[in-house]
Structure 1
Amino acid sequence: MNGLISLLAFIVTLGILVTVHEYGHYWVARRCGIKVLTFSIGFGKKLLSWQRGDTTWQLAAIPLGGYVRMLDEREAPVDDADLSRSFNQQHPLKKMAVAVAGPAANLILALLFYWILFLSGVSTLKPVVADVVSGSPAQLAGIRAGDRIDSVAGEPVVSWDDLLGQMIDASSSGVPFDMVLRGASGDATVRVDPVKAGISNVDADLLDRFGISPLPIIPVVSQVEPGSAAAQAGIRAGDKLSLINGKPLDSWTTLQQTLIKHPDQPLQLTVIRAGAPLVMTLTPHVLELKGKRIGRVGLAPTLDPQRWDAQQMQLRYGPLDAMAASWSKAWGTVGFTLRMFGRMLTGQVSTSQIGGPVTLATVAGRSAQMGLEPFISTLALISLSLAVLNLLPVPLLDGGHLMYHTAELVTGRPVPERVQAFGMRLGLAFLAGLMALALYNDFFRLISG
């Protein structure tokens, strides 16, 4: 069922984003007086088509992109009556406008999505640390449960999502940075060295490895998985976890860290049930995760309902403020994407973060299952990523065409065909390598669970 939802979400996501992107090219080309021959969603064999004016609109078999084909003397002979409508006859500024229109359409779509979200209200979490893992880099840096994180590396933090993004951005540089905290005892600034803290290799689990969580978890069992190590030990829902191997369990994360380090090893666990302590032997089952053996027992924790309610927040703005917030969000995301790409090129960030169709389908599917708001937010993020990717100065991408048209504007003559052909081969090699890397990462994520 999850696979079907992911597939449908993937098709809807690509369908919306590709259609908007190609329509941007189409709309500007028409306004520049260029004749558009074909508007295609998908590549390969034509499945469905219809004629509207000069343009054939079609759906093709491979739904991994699309294209707009314009009248061009370089592709086929053009009647004298249509020469003025041929793409190659246009002024370089018009060609540049057509090239940039697709990415611009994706940017506008993302702004529209963010504006709708900020206008209707975005549910998120406050940047308040509910739990700190004992002995973690966060605790060693001086962060305590209850601290609110106001800024990271000088950038303000409004929500927990902001915190994750700012931490990834700051940590991936490998340079020490400051975090400004607001706690019960007043404001404080802590210094974090991402290399020493072990968080310079960034991913979505960075905050977990740093040792902080927004979840106000209490060490009380809410569920026990049938047949699990916990069930075999006799643990029940409602048990309060007190000691493990004689040491106090001050938080749920302390239990998790202990279990991870002791797969298939007996542990003495003390629980409080009906006001009385019970000692039982708990032997974590072995779980293989990313090549490592970790312990798993099949317990689910309990959220403190009052603290969890206090952790919730909603970002809602009026129409004008929502526009400003949308632009700030989009611009910040574009800048973040470019910085991450640059750091991948310099080796500061692992290329394992690049995902392909499987990753896209998984992300789209999960967000769709979470609700309309997360799905729209995911659409906006992918739309911005598509805009940035297409503006890279790589032949075959819009950025490559923009580069050629800019050269034509400066020199007064088109880039020679042999140069464009060579660039096309380079661009094809780059995109093929990028796709191969993305597919490899997808495959690795699948087999590593």
Structure 2
Amino acid sequence: MDIPGLLTSTLDFAHAAVAFVVALSIIVAVHEYGHYIVGRWSGIHAEVFSLGFGPKLWSRVDKRGTRWQIAAVPFGGYVKFLGDANAASAGPDEDTMARLSEDERRHTLHGAPLWARAATVFAGPLFNFILSILVFAAMPLFTGIATDEPEVAALKPLPVLNELAPGDKILAVNGQETPDYTALSEVTDAVPKSPTVEYRVLRDGQEVTVTGPTPQPPLILSVQPKSAAQDAGLKIGDVIVAMNGVEVPRFIDLQEVVRAGKGAPITLTVWRDGKTFDATLTPRPRPIQAEDGGLETAYLIGISSFYMFEPARRSAGFGEALQIGLEQTYGIVEGTFSGISSIIAGSISSCNINGPIAIAQATSTAASAGLTSFVWMVAALSTAIGLLNLFPIPVLDGGHLVFHAYEWARGRPPSDALMNVAMTIGLALVLALMLFGLSNDLFCV
């Protein structure tokens, strides 16, 4: 028996499970708090606020009579309002409602005005979006954003001569001016296919010429879960120096080799901590941005890279940071709809619908990369969960909002028979989607 391998697999599973539970608990707590606080503001009394399901591990009752609890099964949560028949608020408890006075019914979810019920339901997804926006905005406030002019804050280890130094402002690369990062990016793809290039930099008030690696070498800065790179054992900080025996000094050279191979196996020569080793992997079909703005399938190995130095940063203003938060949240929403439409159109595989295992792996990978990456993942998942809950499927918040819209339009709520049928169909759809995602996690590569 491979005891070390078994131990490693167990530790990896435990790390993924803990990271997933922590991320999910944060997102669920924010979502349910949205329901709770807007319901309270609207005059609706919450009897229970639960993080998790099943037997209670801890609980306390506050001065408003709401029991706050942590339950044993940490995969979700709920708010049970006065008069609810169950934790899903799918219908009223008729016995409870019959015992309440007219004034007391006003404090139930089912006896409150339509506007209060709709606001309470919508608040859950809304708070998920607010969490995402605030987190994405907070990141540039704490870490800053790259200066307009390319400036080296720190260098990354590479197996190539590098005469650049922290504090250097990059003025030109191989004689091409680089006044900003847009120009540096354009130069990066245009420099010769050589391990080193010539930099003109401003150092201590004087212009000097030095030699260094290409601005964007094949330095691995992230490894995607369930990717060919992850299965091949590649890690953040590795440098791919050759593919199929041919040197790849620029990241664009690596991309060209993968693209030309059309999914054929590739042998890599990898530099790690001063030593080199070979690894073989097979690129896998993954969605990428198409020219028309949609998605299309391409073969990828599952890594990303950036510049070979850490850019110098400046402080970000609150308005600038808030704009970044809004743009990143909107980008996730737009990307989700683009992915769904591309799957329906058949331009990308339905294997791109992930289930809990893939999400747990992605969360674990983000946690391993550091607190910033983990927090970013929590914010991204919060947007995705908020958006999913707005889908017009009964049992989800979006389905409840459809029922409220029906009541507003018709002047009366849907009949109990219609609600029961709709809830059954909605539950079946949600379970089918969960099982489909889980099967993708298990059988798709």
Partner of 1:273: none
Q: CA deviation at 1:431?
A: 0.5
- The equivalences for 1:206-225 within 5 A come to 215-217=216-218
Cα distance change on mapping 1:122 and 1:374 into 2, 3 Å: farther
Q: CA shift at 1:394, angstroms?
A: 0.4
In 2, Cα distance between equivalents of 1:66 and 1:242: 48
Asked whether the 8 Å contact 1:39–1:69 carries over to 2, the reply is yes
Determine whether 1:16 maps to 2:26.
yes
Shift of 1:11: 1.4
Contact 2:389–2:398 under 8 Å retained in 1: yes
Aligned match of 2:201: none
Residue 21 of structure 1 deviates from its aligned partner by 0.4
Q: Does 1:308 align with 2:308?
A: yes
Residue from 70, 89, 113 that aligns with 1:59: 70
Contact 1:122–1:373 (8 Å) recurs in 2: no
Change (3 A) 1:422 1:181: farther
Aligned amino acid, residue 356 of structure 1: G
Q: By how many angstroms is 1:250 displaced? A: 7.3
Residue-by-residue CA offset, 1:380-407 (whole Å, 9 max, x unaligned): 1000001100000000000000110111
**Does the CA-based 8 Å contact 2:188-2:216 persist in structure 1?**
no
- 3-state SS of 1:87 partner: coil
Cα displacement string for residues 175-221 of structure 1 (whole angstroms, at most 9, x for unaligned residues): xxxxx99745999xxxxxxxxxxxxxxxxxxxxxxxxx984149xxx
TM-score norm. by structure 1 comes to 0.62
Percent of residue pairs identical: 29
Specify every segment of 5 or more residues in structure 2 that has no aligned partner in the other structure, as ranges: 1-10, 85-91, 151-173, 191-213, 220-231, 233-238, 270-277, 286-304
User: 2:385 maps to what in 1?
Assistant: 386
Deviation of 1:47 (Å): 2.8
How far does residue 349 in structure 1 lie from its aligned partner after superposition?
3.1
Distance 2:336 2:176 in 1: 29
| Counterpart residue type for residue 334 of structure 1 | V
**1:105 matches 2:131:** no
Equivalent pair of 2:46/2:81 in contact (CA under 8 Å): yes
- Aligned counterparts of 1:429 and 1:125: Cα–Cα separation in 2: 51
In the alignment, which of 50, 66, 69 is matched to residue 80 of structure 2? 69
Q: Secondary structure at the match of 2:442?
A: helix
Task: Pick closer, same or farther for the CA change 1:54–1:146 going to 2, 3 Å.
Answer: farther
Q: Which residue of 2 aligns with 1:80?
A: 100
How far is the alpha carbon of 1:286 from its aligned partner? 7.0
Within 1, Cα distance between the matches of 2:188 and 2:367? Answer: 41
- Code of the aligned partner of 1:11: V
Distance in 2 between the 1:104 and 1:59 partners? 23
Alignment partners' CA distance in 1, 2:410 and 2:256: 68
Q: Match for 2:136 among 110, 114, 118?
A: 114
Query: Match for residue 297 of structure 1?
Result: none
Q: 1:365 to 1:242 in 2, by over 3 A?
A: closer
The answer (yes or no) to whether the contact 1:367–1:378 under 8 Å persists in 2 is yes
How many residue pairs end up in the alignment? 327
How big is the shift at 1:356? Answer: 1.7
Closer/same/farther in 2, CA of residues 90 and 360 from structure 1, 3 Å limit: same
Residue 171 of structure 1 corresponds to: none
Residue 375 of structure 1 aligns with an amino acid whose one-letter code is F
What SS does the corresponding residue of 1:392 show, helix, strand or coil?
Answer: coil
User: Deviations along 1:81-130, whole A, 9 cap, x unmatched?
Assistant: 4222121111111111011000011011111101110212367899x9xx
Are the counterparts in 2 of residues 243 and 249 from structure 1 also a CA contact under 8 Å?
no
- Per the TM alignment, residue 314 of structure 1 is displaced from its structure 2 partner at its CA by 5.0
Q: Separation in 2 of the partners of 1:397 and 1:214?
A: 48
Q: Secondary structure at the match of 2:106?
A: helix
Shift of 1:365: 1.2
- Which residue is equivalent to 1:4? 14
Q: Relative to structure 1, is the Cα distance of residues 85 and 354 closer, same or farther in structure 2, using a 3 angstrom cutoff?
A: same
Instruction: Describe the SS at the equivalent of 1:50.
Output: strand
Deviation at 1:330, TM superposition (A): 1.3
Superimposed CA distance per residue, residues 127-159 of structure 1 (whole angstroms, 9 cap, x where no aligned partner): x9xxxxxxxxxxxxxxxx9999xxxxxxxxx99
1:92 and 2:114 equivalent? yes
Q: 1:85 is aligned with what amino acid? A: H
Distance, in Å, in 2 between the alignment partners of 1:426 and 1:325 is 39
Within 5 A, what are the aligned runs for 1:43-442? 43-52=53-62, 53-72=64-83, 74-75=92-93, 76-78=95-97, 79-81=99-101, 82-121=104-143, 183=186, 215-217=216-218, 253=254, 308-309=308-309, 312=311, 317-442=316-441
**Paired residues of 1:25 and 1:102 also in contact (CA < 8 A):** yes
CA distance in 1, matches of 2:37, 2:175: 52
Provide the TM-score with structure 2 as the length reference: 0.62
Q: Which runs of 5+ in 1 are unaligned?
A: 129-144, 149-157, 160-179, 188-212, 219-227, 229-237, 270-283, 292-302
